[in-house]
Amino acid sequence: MERHTIAWYYLFFFLLVVTFFLSADFSPINNGLRLFILMLIFAAVVAPGLVYWSGRREHLADQASISLLVSTNHDLEASVKALQIKELERAGAKDDRSELIASTAHQLRTPLSAIKWTLQMMLQEQLGPVSAEQKEYLQKGLDAAGRVIATINEWLNNDVAKNNRDEYKFVKTDLLSLLDEVLAEFRHKLAQTHVRLAVERPDRRELVAEVDPAKFSMVLDNLIDNAIKYSRPKGQIKVKVLTERLNSPKPEVEFVVSDDGIGIPASDHSKIFQRQFRSSNAVEAAIGGSGLGLSISKHVVEMHRGQIWFESQEGKGTTFHVVVPIYQNKV
Amino acid sequence: MVAMKGKILIVEDDEFLRSLTAKRLEREGYEVAVAVDGESAVNVALEAKPSLVLLDLLLPGVDGFEVLRRIRANDQLKTLPVIVFSNLGQREDIEKAQTAGADDFLIKANFTLDDVASKINGRLGAGQSAAPTA
């Protein structure tokens, strides 16, 4: 029971006693004063009633508020449920979109493989003799097919690289084997462009780190591809694997990919990791590219809690560095 | 360049890709056997006794992953080298193929048939994966 209600009970009891005395014949007070006091008592008795009644009104108002709150709460719950459904639909749509991209890529890659293989076999005279002039056209056709394939690959990579860190699958991976797999894909391109490749690797059988192998190989692939692409004919690219910081408190591996190619103008240095940015001299040199590769690489390296940076001098070449920690959960 | 002679089983449903691959491998000095779907692949492998299988993944009916599992479950075929040669290439596909027992995974569009030939030469010649040119 609330304190003010008890107080009203005491007051009411006190007033009853007073009324009893006032109404008694032995009371010393006169009739006028008695009437005045009785009116006061009446007011005192009515007042709590009025207060109680208004309290009921307030209580009724409270109930209305509560009903309102309940219905608002229901509305909120419905909205939350609707949002959850939307979120699930969005996630589903994202899966659908990724699925669509993957299946479209597959659909496009199959005829492109046929075009690429045919042109390359003709160029190599594996399907009969070809004149020098015909070879030139075949080479252009082959380069064009290669550009479409590269664009599709970047498209796939770009979709993958939008993932958050919790969508990464970090597994113990031998980085030296991973690098070998990446390099194997460039054998033909190196032969074609006459760019020489030197690999400096540590003197050890394997180098295990926790990476998402598919995504991390995209980074190496992109850096090596850029190095070849922006090299001059018969240029030299170097790929180094540095393990000096392997026994430090925060063990990490560094990959260095350098070329002696066209370099990046100083004015473009701050923009090089921006999405769809392409350096003016790369565009001038008519070197194909979507401008997505480095922004994807940066994202992937950062999701690995690593760092990526570069040094470059226009006309002299570019060196990219990627540092990746050995452990993902002890960082 | 001259490889140890051997027989390569090409499991590929696309007629044109299959004929180009066969032509290139024959030029390389290999005998070629072909299977056009997953269902017949294991039987062809048992009959032809190839030295290596070049296996596509998306095939009508039984897919390449299942062919790989059947090859690995067969006593006569379980040590047969299998190179998956597909245009699928998402991480899940590569992992699934590795789990099923693939020795290598090549994405068709990213390689030329010359690369495939030298990969096979390396694997059959040296009895292991070709060392990358560095």
Q: pLDDT value at position A322?
A: 96
With H, G, I as helix, E, B as strand and everything else as coil, classify residue B27: helix
Q: pLDDT value at position B68?
A: 96
Question: Which of A98, A100, A106, A170 to mutate against chain B (most B CBs within 10 Å)?
Answer: A106
For residue B95, the distance in angstroms to the closest alpha carbon of chain A comes to 10
Render pLDDT for A70-118 as a digit per residue (tens, 0 to 9): 777 777 777 777 776 666 666 666 667 777 887 788 888 888 999 999 9
Q: pLDDT value at position B131?
A: 39
| Chain-chain contact of A214 with B90 (C-beta, under 8 angstroms) | yes
Render pLDDT for A29-46 as a digit per residue (tens, 0 to 9): 666 666 666 666 666 666
Instruction: State the pLDDT confidence band at A296, using cuts at 50, 70 and 90.
Output: confident
Q: What is the mean pLDDT of chain B?
A: 87
B17, B23, B115: residue with CB nearest A187: B115
For residue B64, the distance in angstroms to the closest alpha carbon of chain A comes to 15
Which range among A272-281, A321-330, B75-84 has the greatest average pLDDT? B75-84
Listing DSSP states for B120-132 in one string gives: HHHHHHSSSPPPP
| Chain-chain contact of A188 with B20 (C-beta, under 8 angstroms) | no
Q: pLDDT value at position A147?
A: 82
Which residue on chain A is closest to B112 by alpha carbon?
Answer: A117
Chain B residues inside the 8 Å CB shell of A157: none
Q: Is the pLDDT of residue B117 over 80?
A: yes
Q: Is the pLDDT of residue A144 over 60?
A: yes
Which residue on chain A is closest to B95 by alpha carbon?
Answer: A214
Sheet holding B52-55, edge to edge: B31-35, B7-11, B52-55, B82-86, B104-107
Q: pLDDT value at position B116?
A: 93
| DSSP 8-state class, residue B5 | P
Which residue on chain A is closest to B15 by alpha carbon?
Answer: A114
- Cα separation, A205 vs A144, whole angstroms: 39
Which residue on chain B is closest to A110 by alpha carbon?
Answer: B87
Mean pLDDT confidence for A319-329: 92
Measured at the CA of A266, the angle between CA A262 and CA A272, to 5 degrees, comes to: 80
User: Residue A256 pairs with which residues in a beta bridge?
Assistant: A240, A321
Chain B residues inside the 8 Å CB shell of A188: 111-112, 114-115
Q: pLDDT value at position A157?
A: 76
- B31 CB within 8 Å of a chain A CB: no
Neighbour count for residue B105 (Cβ, 10 Å)? 21
Chain B residues inside the 8 Å CB shell of A117: 17, 20-21, 24, 112-113
CA distances from A63 to A45, A53, A85, A249, B2 (A): 27, 15, 32, 64, 93
Q: Is the pLDDT of residue A67 over 70?
A: yes
B87, B113, B119: residue with CB nearest A121: B113
- B109 CB within 8 Å of a chain A CB: yes
- B19 CB within 8 Å of a chain A CB: no
Q: pLDDT value at position B128?
A: 42
pTM for the whole structure: 0.55
Complex ipTM = 0.76
Name the H helices within chain A. 3-23, 31-123, 132-160, 175-184, 187-193, 213-229, 280-284, 293-303
| Chain-chain contact of B113 with A184 (C-beta, under 8 angstroms) | no
Least trusted range by pLDDT, from A15-29, A207-221, A278-292: A15-29
Render pLDDT for B3-52 as a digit per residue (tens, 0 to 9): 457 999 999 999 999 999 999 999 999 999 999 999 999 999 999 999 99
Q: Is the pLDDT of residue A204 over 90?
A: no
Residue the block writes with tokens 């047969």: B80
- For CA atoms A174, A180, A182, A184, the dihedral sign is negative
Residue the block writes with tokens 């997953």: B38
Q: pLDDT value at position B133?
A: 37
Angle, helix A293-303 to helix A213-229, in steps of 10 degrees:
140
Q: Check if the beta carbon of residue A294 is closer than 8 Å to that of residue A273.
A: yes
Residues 6+ apart with CB under 8 A from A18: A37, A41
- Cα separation, A302 vs B1, whole angstroms: 43
- Cα separation, A328 vs A210, whole angstroms: 6
